[in-house]
Amino acid sequence: MQGPTSERKRAAAQPTDEELLDAARRGDDAAFRQLVERYEGRVAATVIGMLGNGEEAEDAGQETFIRFYRSLDRFRGESSIATYLTRIAINQSLDAIKRRRRWTKRFVSRDEEEVVLAEPMYDATEEISARERAELVRGAIQTLKADHRSVVVLRMIEGYSTRETAEILGLPVGTVTSRLSRALDKLESVLDPLVREA
Amino acid sequence: MNDDRLHTFRGWLDGGEPSRFAPFFASRVMQRIEAEGSRNGLESIDAALRWGFLRVATAAVVLAIAVGAYNVMEPGNLGVYTSTLESVLGLPSQSLETLFLLSGA
């Protein structure tokens, strides 16, 4: 059995982000891999929050780390690695949404698109578990406009403050606040029975 | 107001599974980086070859022009050639008779 002392020792033995960054800059791929393993959960939360769980999110996640790898020499640590990666992940996700929109415009008729959006998200008469409720919220986030979704993902899922969200997205704080307000209105209307229950 | 609603939705989200990629995500990222590295290696060889060829080709063109100019300007060649092309290439026209003589036929 391992006590808190051995856990502390193990944590102390773990290289810091800066040590891993330095090693990765010197061409140590194992160090970069450790950074990927350390931050993949964070990037997953962002891209899956933005794009839903699927191939698009996996691609955006991989591309986020590849871009980070390419910019290792340029990364000077003005922001934390987590914030830097989140910024790349949001941009990758927005690009993916644009590509998806172009594809949908080209190959899916407007009628089909509306049918998908109009489909009821759940049966309000059924009792739902906490897990199902979380899935419903994730699904509702996917119905938001891309610029509103990015604000919700950063504020709600990643837990950034309004000011930090504004910095990551390069927007004024007021714009973030108003987008968040409108996004929450939309979420409330989509999840209306759930909100009324609460 | 926003904070209360945000808090409620965040609480609901916490009841679900955390978002994660399929297993071995880091391996897939590293494979892509390696593949990109070898592609970049091939691209740099290709670029070096192209650059090398350009230099050799330029030098060859300059040399050819210099040799052509020498052939035209060389005082000993005056009157030997019947056309400008012949004088540039330094190839005097040969009669059929001369060719027979050269081949020893």
**Contact status, residue A180 vs residue A155, Cβ threshold 8 Å:** yes
| Contacts of residue A114, Cβ cutoff 8 Å, sequence gap at least 6 | none
**Contact status, residue A11 vs residue B12, Cβ threshold 8 Å:** no
What gap in Å lies between CA A48 and CA B19, rounded to an integer? 7
What gap in Å lies between CA A173 and CA A190, rounded to an integer? 26
Q: Which of B9, B19, B30 is the closest to A137 by Cβ?
A: B9
Other beta carbons within 10 Å of A132: 14
The pLDDT tens digits of the residues spanning A81-135 come to 999 999 999 999 999 999 988 887 777 666 655 544 444 455 655 677 888 889 8
Cβ-based interface (< 8 Å): residues of A facing B: 29, 32-33, 36-37, 40-41, 44-45, 48-49, 53, 57-58, 61-62, 65-66, 69, 129-131, 133-138, 155-157, 159, 177, 180-181, 184, 187-188, 194-195, 198
User: How would you write the pLDDT of chain B (105 residues) with one tens digit per residue?
Assistant: 678 888 889 998 888 888 899 999 999 999 999 988 777 777 778 888 888 999 999 999 999 898 888 887 776 766 666 677 777 777 766 777 777 887 775
Q: Which amino acid is at A42?
A: R
What gap in Å lies between CA B18 and CA A13, rounded to an integer? 27
Residue B75 CA: distances (Å) to CA of A70, A154, B51, B82, B86: 63, 84, 38, 15, 15
**ipTM score for this prediction:** 0.78
